[in-house]
Chain A
Amino acid sequence: MQKRISNLPFHDTPEQAQKLDAVIESLKGQKGAVMPALHQAQEIYGYLPIEVQEKIAKGLDVSLEEVYGVSTFYSQFALTPKGRNHISVCLGTACYVKGADKVLERITQKLGIQPEECTEDGTFSLTACRCIGACGLAPVMTVNDEVYGRLVPEDVDTILAQYMA
């Protein structure tokens, strides 16, 4: 999948910068440190702005090209910021067979955004994911850490309404 890259200006707080420095310090010299560094950086910032990737490359003494190659290869690494509420619709086989595509369609209609996009006001962002392993509850979506299962498209309206206030 083509990755979207953020065009928003990068801001970080001193605490965030400090945390990132600590992460880089703890991983220095370890074999295969780039991925753990990116995972932890994404925990701190919510996504991986190019400035953060530059810092990691410098800190771990690898080229930016290598870091960027890794961050764009894996679907878990986000190069765009997430909305205040992040929606993820499972399109794994079990969910798909049970109509997850219709749930996703309802959400895109409701919010006017496609997967990998964020609403203009920053309230919602949306992704389609592959199997979160809750196949017994298919079809499933998550909003932030909350899981909603056994969905029909109509459920989308009431679920989204809870987060709109």
Chain B
Amino acid sequence: MFRSNVLVCGGTGCTSSNSEQIIEKLKEEIKAQGLEKEVNVIRTGCFGLCALGPIMVVYPEGAFYSRVTPEDVPEIVSEHLLKGRIVKRLLYQETVVDDSTTKSLNETTFYAKQMRIALRNCGVINPENIDEYIAQDGYAALGKALTEMTPQEVIDLVLASGLRGRGGAGFPTGRKWQFAAANKAEQKYACCNADEGDPGAFMDRSVLEGDPHSVLEAMAIAGYAIGANQGYIYIRAEYPIAVKRLQIAIEQAREYGLLGKNIFDSGFDFDIDIRLGAGAFVCGEETALMTSIEGKRGEPRVRPPFPAVKGLFGVPTVLNNVETYANIPQIILKGADWFRSIGTEKSPGTKVFALGGKITNTGLVEVPMGTTLREVVEEIGGGVPGGHHFKAAQTGGPSGGCIPAKLIDTPIDYDNLIAIGSMMGSGGLIVMDETTCMVDIAKFFLEFTVDESCGKCTPCRVGTKRLLEILNKITSGNGTLEDIDKMEELCYYIKENSLCGLGQTAPNPVLSTLKYYRDEYEAHVVEHRCPAGACKALTNYSIEADKCKGCTLCARNCPVGAISGSVKQPHVIDTTKCIKCGVCMEKCKFGAVVRK
């Protein structure tokens, strides 16, 4: 037994800000102080509060240290671990009540409204140690399914729970399993979609990094339910830490006999292999993903036949998203009624969101379905920083749309989001403030889909390109009102005629911004003005002579030497040289630089 346990976040966010060095330094210092038998250092998965990374939590006190640097480590070791005095200055300030008391992490605004099912072990256990997972009831659900339930009972339970696919479309998971089970075949596959391509979303990565065994266990359960004994996890090569932890987890599970032949003496065999993606967004689409596992160009196929009939290598296949799988063991153990008691009637359970963009607490949150956007953004997310105002939230990535400020009280679930022209998507939630131009954001997503369109069908390949051209025309100030109408018409055409989900949803960012921010499009076209000041071709910087004190700060900072003027005299910007980077406006202390 150890006297203290030090948990250091080893997720991608914290690793990117040196948590590895912190762990090394910790071990060094602990050894130097002779505490290695008393203090245990554990590398965990993501805590969710990525904005405060690197994160370190010391138990039993539960002291939550944020933005720790390697230089802080000696102080933490000698003060806290050796002498028992918490280092106040490094604590997450939200957890400090007064000089002598701190409150638990679960009481802070960031965690209080959250409910963790998929993320329940993230930041709690060491993901590279199967014993810690087992100690948290790990593999008990697989044991229960294999020894006490028939495959049909497993399917019935998942059906009754009302679990819907967390990858975005929200198809009932139980029905998917039912279809695959009903198709008789010698060989079937149970696969996992970990090709999280939506830029700005990192839920699946965090689950795989923080709790890989939960996915392996659920895949084995799915395999048992549909009658498959081989599984594949298709994961992005951009997630090296997640890949490594999955490999370790698979090896450990094989060693313990939880994967392989005759699991739990039930006569059921199941094994899992990893397949790496190679950076193609379209491979998140189920038929494209399976084509890619087959080692080919990841182009989608026509459905039907659906994967449950003819999937990977031409046999019945079930494909679920990482987060969906992470819910399964809990459902098996706690039952359908428990799961249904959380969330809304049509969307039971929780959803993990990756909060990003203009928000104070960037990171990962898991909330019951039906939580309002306001609760997520203002309470859990801590609001928009820098005195700016919430303008819109973007969900569903390149397939989704914007939720404007006036709809901030919408309860988030699958059906509500579709109704207001967005979609759940995999769970990226990007917050925007008034400096974000909605036309520019639509253009950003279209650039993405044009790049990522696989080229197989014409509406998507050519249509998205034409859409982008019109958007470019508008943001450069050359658009007409007719272009806006033409664009809208083209959007519907692409939606109706594309082969796969990528093309069918590609126009959504344009349609939803048109729906709520048509005035911004019109300002670009009619007044040749970008209201947010983001479109460079439509903005000009100038200096108001009466406010300028002639401090020369702007001129010294201008990267292209476009500002001239002598000391204590009003300065002037040469618009022919200006590259509109905005540095002068940021630097001016007198508010003399204006953007029009």
Residues of A whose CB lies within 8 Å of any CB of B are: 1, 31-36, 38-39, 66, 69-70, 73-77, 91-94, 96-98, 102, 129-138, 140, 147, 149, 153
Contact = CB atoms under 8 A, between A and B. Distances in A.
B362 A36 contact: no
B432 A135 contact: no
Interface stretch (B89-97, B172-180, B195-203): B195-203
B150 to A, nearest CB: 31
Nearest to A74: B278
Given A135-B50, A136-B53, A137-B13, A97 B430 contact: yes
20 contacts: A1-B451, A34-B296, A35-B276, A36-B275, A36-B295, A73-B280, A73-B297, A73-B298, A74-B280, A93-B444, A94-B357, A97-B436, A98-B357, A130-B199, A130-B279, A130-B281, A133-B12, A136-B13, A136-B50, A138-B357
A98 B430 CA distance: 11
B448 A130 contact: yes
Nearest to A138: B356
Contacts, number: 133
A137 B295 contact: no
A38 B278 contact: yes
A73 B357 CA distance: 30
A69 B297 CA distance: 7
Given A1-B451, A36-B295, 16 more contacts: A31-B294, A32-B296, A33-B295, A35-B275, A38-B278, A75-B279, A93-B428, A93-B445, A94-B356, A96-B444, A131-B200, A135-B202, A136-B13, A137-B17, A138-B362, A149-B17
B581 A76 contact: no
Q: Sort chain B's interface into a size bin.
A: 35 or more
B256 interface: no
Contacts of A74: 277-280, 298
Interface string B383-411: 00000000000100100000000000000
A109 B528 CA distance: 28
A73 B282 CA distance: 11
B51 interface: yes
B454 interface: yes
Interface-centre pick from A35, A97, A140 (highest chain B CB count, 10 A): A97
A112 B51 CA distance: 33
A60 B70 CA distance: 48
A133 to B, nearest CB: 4
A134 B200 CA distance: 9
A140 B342 CA distance: 36
Contacts of B199: 91-94, 96, 130-131
B571 interface: no
B453 to A, nearest CB: 11
A74 B275 CA distance: 14
Interface string B419-430: 000000000101
A16 to B, nearest CB: 21
A63 B294 CA distance: 15
Nearest to B242: A133
Contacts of A34: 295-296
Nearest to A33: B295
B594 interface: no
A70 B13 contact: no
Nearest to B361: A136
B362 A136 contact: yes
Given A93-B200, A135-B356, A70 B296 contact: yes
B462 to A, nearest CB: 16
B228 interface: no
Contacts of A140: 16
